[in-house]
Structure 1
């Protein structure tokens, strides 16, 4: 079975589908095409007959006879069935009838026979054309197959070449990959070796850096112990070097200037000699001298002035000289530094001891002053309190004096409505208390002074009481507290007795008083609102009636 690729190639080469049936009835288009071809052939035959002679022309019968081929005649004779004569007819009638019917059948069947002949001829032509077409198709298919085989061979050759080229490329790629892997391995080894060398160099550089740092520290230490005069000498040497460079530059500039001036003077002298020359030889010598002087002047002018020296530089640390050239110098410096350090340490210790003593004295003085300050503050507070108390007392006394005009009210024993006491009586009472306290009676002392002395005496007694043993003071306090409670209890009993007597007196007064009878209508209070009692009706129906009513209500719902 032909593939799609073969069919496409056959269609490209002009060959139709070989699977179509060559003996199928042609379509109407084919029939009309054949008809047109027949008309064209007849027209061409007619044109050709017009040009031939009369003897060569054929009649219509010969033409019609010539249209039927031998094969068509044989087919007609085979298909035609001979008719037997009737048995009841005689020979003459039979012959007559046969001739007549033969003539009738021949004329009637003539068109049908011609049609059959035409169809047979057309089918034969169609078959021949189809055979030619099939042969052409077979030939084209053979050509297409040959081309396909050739293309397959070419494809196979190209595929073999491709495989060969691919194998070569694979081999080259493998070789290249092996070379690259080897080169990569070499590079990796080289990188490892370089990393190892870099690490070694870095460690060596770190070691050198550490040594350089140590050397710098040593140099800084040596510079710190080097005398100042040495650095001043080095600065003087540097300044002398700069001055020397400046003098050399000035000398070079001066020499260049002198050369230019000498060349100009020689040129002027040569020109004068040339102008004053009397002979040809003198003129030639003067002319040569002028050329030489001009050449010398050009060379002197071409020479550039040297650039000024760079004076902004310092001594190179590598070229700088060191003050210490002998180890004994360092030992002497160390000894001096040690002595100075010991002196400084001793001074520091003495200073610390003195500072510690000052701190101790400061702490003691501060503690003592703080205690004195606290005592003074307490005394100041007491004095302020006493002053405030005295001022308050003085103010109250003044107020009472102004209100009572020389009389005071003393509330003795907590009783209200006490009698007024005059200031004279109070002064007399203070004088009596003053004498009882052990003082001598003195009319020149005022009442306030007496009270002050009494207060001082009281403070002395209080201080003496504070110095007594704790048990004695507690015993005195308990005795006084017992007496106070006894007095308070007696006062309370007397107060209760007085209250009881007052209640009894009031009861006797009520009993002795006449009875008061009420007269008239009693006062009526507002009536309360009516209250209705709620009557609870009990359901006397049974459980069956209740269930029936609930069931009926459900049906209604």
Structure 2
């Protein structure tokens, strides 16, 4: 028994059935596309289940009913061909009449050999492609027919819209023509009105220009009048302005008096009305008869009405006192041309006086300027002379400073030489015939302060007054001048007297030097005795150990004696000063 295959299990059967359906259905999927993984697994499971079912069926079949593999394949091919023919059969149930179906059946009848799967798939592919092209063409035909129908409907609507637009356009043109005619009429009217306005503006501009020119002329005249008025006011006497101010003040006082009179009148009327009312009330209160009461009542009513009228009247406002006199009412000082001529004459005389004074002032100023120039020239000459004197004095000051510097340097040199000579003299005076080798004289150097003190002492002894503001050089200069005076006086004196005085002075000097020398020797002797007593009283110092050996004496250096370039006068002055110091 051949195996039973369902039509739905054949590959391509479902696609063919879907392809042979309604033309409006969606196009079948391409069978040659690779399916998804889920479909592949599903197909595998279905194939496995179908094979299991076939095995179960084959086990129950008897041996006589079993078939071979070739018979199974033939049965499969026959079933597939039968399904294909069923798909190609028309819907009416009649057999297919196409050449393709006939050729396929004839070929199936003639061919008995076994077909392989590749040829079958190729044939089914050709059939599928043919069916797909037919379906595509049918769908395209339907689509084109639908598009043509829509195009016809659109054309009908467009024609209808064009007709409506033409009607509306005609109405618009008609309305536009009416508006154009109306606008033309309105433009003509407005153009005419504009022309009238332009003519009116021109006429008004002409009138305005004429009025402006006339106004400018009046303003120029007014400006001239103001200048004339200012000029006349400048030459008007101040008394006239005082009179005008007094007149204005009287006018203001009159206004104030009038206002006060009006206020007083109104106040009196109010008081009279109040008094009449009070009298009427008194009469009404004192009335004894009906007639008197009625008269009093009428009087009260009349007084009340009169009082109300008076109370309604307001007090007059105070006058405005800030006003000035009206220029039209203001009077001018100059009423006759002769007044102006008289003022001009006075001004001319005063101007001549001022001119004469100005000329005299200019002459005096010119004289002062000439004196100033002369004085300036003289002062310049004197200043130049003084500048020359200042330059000469500055040069002499510079020379004096240079001389002072040289004298100061020389004084420093003399101080060193004097210190050395004093030391030698002190040593010679201290070394007597009875003094041993241990008694050596000591002479201390004399500094500038001691020398200045000694010079000041000599300066005072020469008969000058002690003045702290005078320097040492100035004192030496004065001493030198004094010495020159003494020498000049000594030259005039007799020689015997001069020699006797010199011998006496020399004897006195030697005596003083001898006394000083003896006192110095005595002081030195006392000092030596004191040192000897100290050494005797001191403890004995015993040396221990090896005695120290003294080093060799340092080499003796020769002293270089500088040549003395000083002249004889300077040497004599230094010797004299050294003797005086001793």
* Bucket of the pairwise TM-score, normalised by the shorter protein: 0.3 to 0.5
> What is the TM-score normalised by the length of structure 1?
0.44
> What is the TM-score normalised by the length of structure 2?
0.42
